[in-house]
Amino acid sequence: MVSAGDFRNGVTIEVEGAVFQIIEFQHVKPGKGAAFVRTKLKNVMSGGVVEKTFRPTEKFPQARIDRKDMQYLYKDGDMYNFMDNETYEQTMLNESEVGDAMKFVKENEMVKIDSYNGQVFAVEPPLFVELEITDTEPGFKGDTATGATKPAIVETGAQVAVPLFVNQGDTIKIDTRTGEYLSRV
């Protein structure tokens, strides 16, 4: 059990039958009345964010989230196939369960599968990936004073804004959280 007075960012709790992750919390001690805890909670299953206030003495069961490393094997139609490298057990997830998490992930790369009571709610790609550019317009020499960018398609099919000096066939490093170009490799 976790009391509201012990809340920290990232802690997962069960509130009214739903599982929430604490995004923000603030202990408030007004001049009049009792203290309270103001929180911003994210529903891990639906992704919705709500704001709630609690008394510091309220207690909630801590939700156990399982995070398992799995290897992304391949995509078959709208189903993504993953394999546990320890047990060699395969798991299939549909596009709605995966969301945008796989747009920068190549086959045979490792991802984290997040689940609660056996129900998968998120796929976490690696923080940084190196991908080859398959299509982009040629850059213009000397046109870099403004820090301009151009669209480029990487080998997974995702579009990324890259600097003008990056060409087709180059390998680039991408931050998967923001989808931003970081550097050439």
What's residue 144's pLDDT? 58
What's residue 51's pLDDT? 92
Residue % of the chain over a pLDDT of 90:
5
Mean pLDDT (the chain, rounded): 85
Instruction: Give residue 138's identity as a one-letter amino acid code.
Output: P
Residues whose CB is less than 8 angstroms from the CB of residue 55 and which lie 6 or more positions away in sequence, other chains included:
4, 34, 36, 37
CATH topology of domain 2-60: SH3 type barrels. (2.30.30)
Residue ranges covered by each domain of the chain: 2-60, 66-124, 128-184
Secondary structure (3-state) at 48: coil
CATH superfamily of 66-124: Nucleic acid-binding proteins (2.40.50.140)
Instruction: Give residue 128's identity as a one-letter amino acid code.
Output: F
Architecture, CATH, for domain 128-184: Beta Barrel (2.40)
pLDDT along the chain (185 residues), means of 10: 84 86 88 89 84 90 87 87 88 81 86 84 86 82 68 88 86 86 85
Whole-model pTM: value is 0.69
What's residue 40's pLDDT? 92
pLDDT digits (tens, 9 = 90+) for 43-69: 887 778 899 998 888 899 988 888 889
Q: Find out whether 116 and 64 touch, Cβ atoms under 8 Å.
A: yes
Question: What are the two backbone dihedrals, phi and then psi, of residue 41, each rounded to the nearest 5 degrees?
Answer: -115, 140
CA–CA gap between residue 150 and residue 168 (Å, rounded): 12
